[in-house]
Structure 1
Amino acid sequence: MPTHAYYSKNIEDLEMYQRLIQYWSLTFDKSLNAIPMDHMNFDANIYPPAITLTEIEKIIKFEPGYASPDGVVELGPLIRNLELTRLNHVNPKNKQKNKKIVQQAGLGAGHGCTNVMHGILNSIPKLPKNIFPRQCDQPEIILTLPNYTVYLAQISNMGGLARPRFLRATRENNFLPTFKQVKQIVTKKTAAIVITYPNNPAQSTYEGKNVEELKKIVRYCQQERIFLIVDNIYQDELYPQSRKHVEIFSLTDKLDYVIKVFGPSKDTTFFSGYRCGYWFGDPRIQNTYQYYISASENTLSTVSMIMFAWDMLFRAKRLAKKPITLPDIKLLDTGLFGWGRPLNAQKLLSNLKKMQLFEKYNKRIDVADIKMEETNKRIIEFVEKSKYFSDYVNQKIGNIILIKVNPQYYTGDDNEFFHDLIKKSGYAVLPGNVFGIPQRKGNVWFRITSIHDSCDNILKGLKAIENFLKHNS
C-alpha cells in the first residue's frame, strides 16, 4: 500500500465516502507520481479570485472574534436578501408570495454545505413528535444515488440516531430521482429525503418537462410530512448564464418540510477554502440546528463569514442587474465586522465605489464562467467523438463531467480501472463507485473536473486514457 493511503482495507470493505477518501489519498500520493484528473480546486494560474481578503481589508477594518453560534445573526439578512432576489428572478409575478416565504423562513449557516447538511441531518431525528409527527426510533433518511456520499458518512457517524436508505436513480432519467421512485421507497419510518440538483457527479438538473417530477416530489413530501432537503450548490453554474435554475420554493406556497442548502464553494473561485454555506426553509428545525451547530462548532470563522457576506450581497445584485446602494450596505450592519464596531454605511459604500470592487467581482465572475463553459464544451465534444467512451452525463452545467468507458475496451470494474490507469498511464480519475454507481465488470464510470488545470492539459489527460484503453484492449 502506498505511503499516504488512508485505509488498509480492500475497497469493497469501505463505505462509499471512505472510498472517496482512499482514492483521493492515492491520487495525491507522491510515491505514485499520478496526474490528477479530478481535483475540485480552481487553478490560480487560470481563474481570477472573485474577491480577496486584501481588498476587503482596504474598504473596511474588522475584528476577528466570536460570532453567533450558527452565523444566523450576522448572515441572516444577506441570506434572506439573496433568496428573495432568486425567487423574484424566476417568479417575478409572485413577489408578494416570495416575500412572505422569505420573511417566514428559518435559516442557518455553517462551515460549508457539508457542515450545514450535517447539522440538518442531526437535527431532524431530535425533533419532538409534536413538531414532527413522523418522528420515530431510528428514522430513515433516504439518500439518492449517485451522489456526493459524505451524507452517508454523516449518518453513519450519528451513533444509530438514524438509518440511511438508498434510492438509485437511473441513467435513463439522467441520474435524477423520479416521483414514482420516491413514492415507492418511502416507508412509515421515512423522515427525510436528500436530493441534489444539479446532481454531483452527473451535473444534470430538473428542467423543462421534468420539473413536474420535482413538483410532485415536493407536494408528496409536504403531504406526507417528510423533510425534503435539496442541495443546490451547483445552481448558479448553468450554461449559458441566461438559463434559470428551478428554485424549490417557486414550486410551493409553503415552507413546510422543505429545506434548501447552498454555498459558494463550487462556483465562486477560491471560496472552497473559506468553508461557507447556509440552509433556508422550514423553520421548525431552526432551534435544534442552532443548538447542534453551537455545540459542535462553537462559532463560525469571522473571516469566512465576511467573505461569504460580500459574495451573497454581490451575487444578489449581479442577478438583479442593479448597482450597490446604501440600503444594500446596511444589510451588513449585523456585528459582522466586530460586535463592538459601529458600521458607517455611507463611508463603506464610498470606499466600495472608489475601489470598484463590485465591478471587479462581476468581471472576474464573467471570466470564470466563460472559461468553465468553454472548457466543458471542448471536453464534451472530445468525449462525444471518442470511441473509447460510450456515455457521459453533463447538461452544460458546472465543472465536473461523469464519463463511461466503452466496455469493448475495458472489461474490469472501476476500481481495477483506477489502479491500472495510474500504473500504465500515470493519470488518476475518481471511480463512480464512490458516488454509489454499482461496482461491476464492464461498468466503468469515472468523474473528472474541469477547473484544476488548463483545458489543453485536461484533453491531454483524456487522450492518455484513450491510449491506455487502446493498448489495454
Structure 2
Amino acid sequence: MELRRKGVDVVSFGIGQPDFQPPPNVIAYAKEAMDAGYNGYGPSLGMPELRESIADFLNERYGLDVQPDEVAVTAGAKAAVFIGMLALLEPGDEVILPDPSYPLYESVANFVGARTRFVRLHSGNNYKIRFEDVEKLVSSKTRMVVINYPENPVGSTMDRKAVEALVELAYEKRFVVLSDEIYNHFVYESSHYSTLQTDHWREVVYYVNGFSKTFGMTGWRLGYVVSNRELLSKLSVIANNMYSCPVTFAQIAAAKALRDGLEWFKPILDQYRRRRDLIYNRLLSIRGVKVVKPEGAFYIFPDFSDVIRAKGVKNERELADKLLEEKGVVVLPGTAFPKEAGVNHLRFSFAVREEDIEKGIERIKAWVAE
C-alpha cells in the first residue's frame, strides 16, 4: 500500500482473495434481509434457514443425508477451525499437519497447547498427502489430523482412495480429521471427493467450508461446520461467548444463494483455469524456476532454489523483499506456510487479471536475467 501511495505500479500475487464480487442477486438478498429486519442477534450456531440450506446443498451435491442440526454456521471458516480445535484438543495432544500448510492450523494448535507434527509434502508427488506418511506419524497421543484440499499454498487435491483411507484410519485409531474444504469448487481437472462422502464421517470428521472463496464473500464472514450433534453442542457454548452469532442478514442472503445454485460460477471456474495455465507456463519460462501445476485452489508454489543461488540471495524471504522493492511485485515467501517445505519457494495467488499475471511474471523474469 505504501508503494502504491508513492505512485509505484505494484502487481500483487499476495492475497488469497477472489477478485470477483458476489452475484448481484445475493447482494440484493442481503439488502432485502436488512430491510426486513434481520439486523439483530441470531442463534449462536446460525439461522435455521441457512443450516437447512447448507444441508440440502451438500446432500444434493454429494448424495448425502446431512441433517440441519449437524450443521453449524460460524463467523468465517477461520472461526470454524478455531472453535473446533478449542473444543477438541487438550494440552499435550498431537496434531498432524501438512508441510506446507495454511498458517492458521499451526497457530491455533500451539495456542491450545497441542504438539504439532508435520507430514512433508513433496513436489515429486505433486504435493499430495500420502497415506503412508500420515500413518507413520500417528501415535497414541494423536488427536487430530488436519487436511486442506485443494490445498493452500500448493493447489494439490486428494482422490477418493486417499480420503477414504485417511478417514478409515481415523476411525480405527480414534482421532479426528479436520477437513478444510473451502476451495472445493476450485478444482480444474477432476471432481472433488469430500470427507462427508465417507462411511464414518459422523464419528471422526470435522468438516469446514464457507462462502468466502466460491461466492466472493470474504468480508461477509460466513463459514460453516458439519459434524456430529454432540460436538456441535460444545461449539454452541464457545461461539456464544466468542462472537455471539454470525451476521444475521448475511445468513439469510446466503441461504437463498445456495438455493439458487452455482450455474453462474462455471465461467468463473473456466477463467481461473485459464489463469492457472497462464501463470504455470509463464513461470516455467523463467530460467531456474521449477514448478508443479496446481490441480485446484488459486495458488501456485514455485521452487526458486536455483535462482536464489545464482543471484546470491540469502533465502526466499529476501527474494520476496527484492522483488517488491526492485520490481514492484508482491509474492509471499514459502516459509510463511509452516514448516520447512517452503524453503526457497514463493507462493503466488493467481486470483488476479491475466494482464497482471503477464506483467508481474515478466518483471520477475527480467530481474532474474539482470
**TM-score of the aligned structures, taking structure 2 as reference length:** 0.89
Matches within 5 A, 1:66-145: 66-71=41-46, 73-88=48-63, 98-99=64-65, 102-103=66-67, 106-125=70-89, 138-145=92-99
Report whether the alignment pairs 1:288 with 2:229. no
Contact kept in structure 1, 2:181 and 2:208, CA below 8 Å: yes
Q: Which structure has the larger Rg over C-alpha atoms? A: 1
Tell me the residue number matched to 1:349.
none
Mind listing any 5+ residue stretches in structure 2 that lack a counterpart? Answer: none
Aligned to 1:448, the other structure's residue is in SS state strand
- Deviation per CA, 1:382-406, whole angstroms, max 9, x where unpaired? 22343342223412x2322222225
Alpha-carbon spacing, 1:252–1:104, altered in 2? closer, same or farther (3 Å)? farther
| Equivalent of 1:38 in 3, 10, 14 | 14
Deviation at 1:104, TM superposition (A): 8.8
User: Conserved in 1, the CA contact under 8 Å of 2:316 and 2:346?
Assistant: yes
- Structure 2: distance between partners of 1:103 and 1:223: 25
Q: Which of structure 1's runs of 4+ aligned residues deviate more than 6 A?
A: 26-29
Letter in 2 for 1:300: P
Distance 1:58 1:114 in 2: 25
Q: Does 1:297 align with 2:249?
A: no
Amino acid at match of 2:88: I
Q: Which runs of 5+ in 1 are unaligned?
A: 1-25, 89-97, 126-135, 319-361
Structure 1 position 153, deviation (Å): 1.8
Assess if the C-alpha contact under 8 Å between 1:414 and 1:439 holds in 2.
Answer: no
Deviation readout 1:110-160 (Å, 9 max, x if unpaired): 1111011101000113xxxxxxxxxx65322222221111122223333x3
Q: Distance in 2 between matches of 1:154 and 1:28?
A: 32
Contact 2:280 2:291 in 1 (8 A): no
The answer for the alignment partner of 2:137 in structure 1 is: 185
Question: Cα deviation per residue 1:352-402 (whole Å; 9 max; x = unaligned)?
Answer: xxxxxxxxxx44x2332232122222222222343342223412x232222
- Figure out how many residues of one structure are paired with residues of the other and give that number: 364
Q: 1:251 — aligned with what?
A: 198
**Take 2:325 and 2:193, find their aligned partners in 1: how far apart are those partners?**
43
Relative to 1, partners in 2 of residues 1:200 and 1:137: Cα closer, same or farther, differing over 3 Å?
A: closer
Q: Does 1:56 align with 2:29?
A: yes
CA distance change for structure 1 residues 106 and 422 in 2, over 3 Å: closer, same or farther? same
Q: Is the 8 Å Cα contact of residues 51 and 68 (structure 2) preserved in structure 1?
A: no
Q: Normalising by structure 1, what TM-score? A: 0.71
Q: Is 2:368 the counterpart of 1:421?
A: no
Q: What code does the residue aligned with 1:418 have?
A: A
Among all aligned residue pairs of Structure 1 and Structure 2, give the percentage whose two residues are the same amino acid. 20
Q: Which of 143, 151, 155 lines up with 2:105 in the alignment?
A: 151
Q: 3-state SS of the aligned residue for 1:175?
A: coil
Q: Report how far residue 311 of structure 1 moved.
A: 2.7
Letter in 2 for 1:181: D
Q: 1:437 to 1:294 in 2, by over 3 A?
A: same
2:259 to 305, 310, 313: 313
1:372, 1:398 within 8 Å by CA — same for their partners in 2?
Answer: no
Q: The residue matched to 1:380 in structure 2 has which SS?
A: helix
C-alpha separation in 2, matches of 1:193 and 1:28: 40
Indicate yes or no: 2:151 matched with 1:176. no
